[in-house]
Chains A and B, each alone.
Chain A
Amino acid sequence: MKLKKFIGPIRRWPLPPGCQVAAMPCSPNPRLREAAKTIVGLAACVLFSALSVFAQGEQVFKGDICLGPEGRTPIVENGQSRLPCTIPHPKRGAKYILFNSETKATYQLEGHGKAKAYAGRTVVVVGTLDQSTGTIHVDEIYRAVPPKVMQAKSVYIFCDACPRGMAAAWRAAFQALGDWGKFDVTPDPKSADLVFIFSANPYVGDYVTRDGPDKRQVNVDITYMNVVDPQTGQNLWGDSRQWGSLFVPKATRDLIQELRTQMEEETQNDPQALADKHRSRKPPPSVAN
């Protein structure tokens, strides 16, 4: 109905003299007139949708998904009380917030049921901010590359559980990181900001705690890459490729390329491009944290 109202006046607009000549032969043909109507209608639709997206002012927000203060219980550490980001069993109906540790900004999240699934993780939220209430109307949430990875300068490549064909992962990673040029590949694990672990077995968070070799059986089928904090052993980023033993170097390069693409996208801050890229990308397999 609204569209008709919009199209009606357009049809009644007088055409410029130059156009009249071309339009004259078309006017008597009802089929062509219908086609013209459709084209004008479609153009109006496209224009309206573009305007509505623009009006919404979609933005990209980064931060950690935490439970709202009402859903948490303060804990005391070293004599100081603090609110943990998440707790194992939050209260029913507990709301989640987005907390940016750099700007110390907190936003309420609305309109997205996935927030709970990302609790305790660093995410990128694409949505519209209501300034008056400090609420983000969420369109999409993606797991983000943590700030520690974004700010890191040096990495140590650790080829864990790398016998047989898996041994090729180290060199492939060394070459790929050299081509990228973002990180200094250091030979000293103690001075590295990050550890890139390549393995045929999934990472179980034991980089710091494990005493001795990985005793699990190694079947070189899946190439796992995990970006680990060398101080805590926490898995900051991870993915895998099930490409078999012969394609370990290719899988390694592809995993590094995935991390590189994700990091570059997040620095661009373009919500539409970010959303498109994430929609086209298949979801990564879950990794141990």
Chain B
Amino acid sequence: MRIFQVLTFLVAASTAAYGSPGGVLEKVKKIQVDQTVVDQPDKVDNNMAANLIRFDLRAAVKDAHLDEGDAPIKAHFVLDEFSSESRARRLIGLGTGRSICTVDGKLVIQDASGTELASVKIHVRGSVAYSPGDGNDARSKPISDFEQRLHEEIEKLK
């Protein structure tokens, strides 16, 4: 009897796992990337940060083989904190061309009515929007650390 119960549970669990819907972006072909939301501007030390973040999100959408443009499914990034490296560190790194930033926030996916479909917390310390040294091939695009992380998260939602 107990064995029967265990077998029933296993069958039910595997059926549920197999039949469960995929990520929120499973059947999505196109995403609209909205402006970055900055709730606390005093925690963002770079006036370009919001635009850079959106640029990377657009790039990550492309990397995930999704089209970007007007669409019912929308994505945006809620930026909680953005800090560029200090001047002292920049001086130490002078000559490398690398610019390290710390980004804290969450990636939000919404449907046409504005209902939140997914929200993923993201913390990255690395390059944002431009990564020197990766893009010397005219036909390839340099991938920053932040873009790479966003790409991974979007892939998980597919």
Which A residues contact B (CB, under 8 angstroms)?
158-168, 170-171, 174-175, 178, 185-189, 206-208, 210, 212-214
Contacts and interface: CB of A to CB of B under 8 A. Distances in A.
Given A164-B95, A166-B97, A171-B48, A159 B138 contact: no
Given A171-B130, A175-B48, A165 B136 contact: no
A167 B97 contact: yes
Contacts of A163: 97, 132-133
A187 B62 contact: yes
B136 A161 contact: yes
A159 B48 CA distance: 18
Contact of B97 (A165, A206, A214): A165
B58 interface: yes
B137 A189 contact: no
A210 B137 CA distance: 8
Contacts of A214: 136
Contacts of A213: 136-137
Interface in B133-147: 133, 135-139, 141, 147
A170 B55 CA distance: 13
A206 B138 contact: yes
A174 B141 CA distance: 15
A158 B136 CA distance: 9
B136 A167 contact: no
B136 A208 contact: no
B97 A174 contact: no
A57 to B, nearest CB: 46
A170 B138 contact: no
A260 to B, nearest CB: 18
B52 interface: yes
Interface range on chain B (Cβ under 8 Å from partner): 20 to 34
21 contacts: A158-B138, A159-B132, A159-B135, A160-B135, A160-B136, A160-B138, A162-B135, A164-B94, A164-B97, A165-B95, A166-B97, A167-B97, A167-B98, A167-B99, A167-B130, A175-B48, A187-B55, A206-B138, A210-B138, A213-B136, A213-B137
B113 interface: no
Contacts of A208: 138
Nearest to A208: B138
Contacts of B52: 174
Given A164-B95, A165-B97, A187-B59, A174 B138 contact: no
Given A162-B97, A162-B132, A174 B59 contact: no
B96 interface: yes
A163 B142 CA distance: 13
B93 to A, nearest CB: 10
B51 interface: yes
B129 interface: yes
Closest 6 CB pairs of A and B: A167-B97, A213-B136, A187-B59, A167-B132, A170-B130, A187-B58
Contact of B55 (A158, A168, A185): A185
Contacts of B68: 188
Contacts of A166: 97
Nearest to A207: B138
Contacts of B48: 171, 174-175, 178
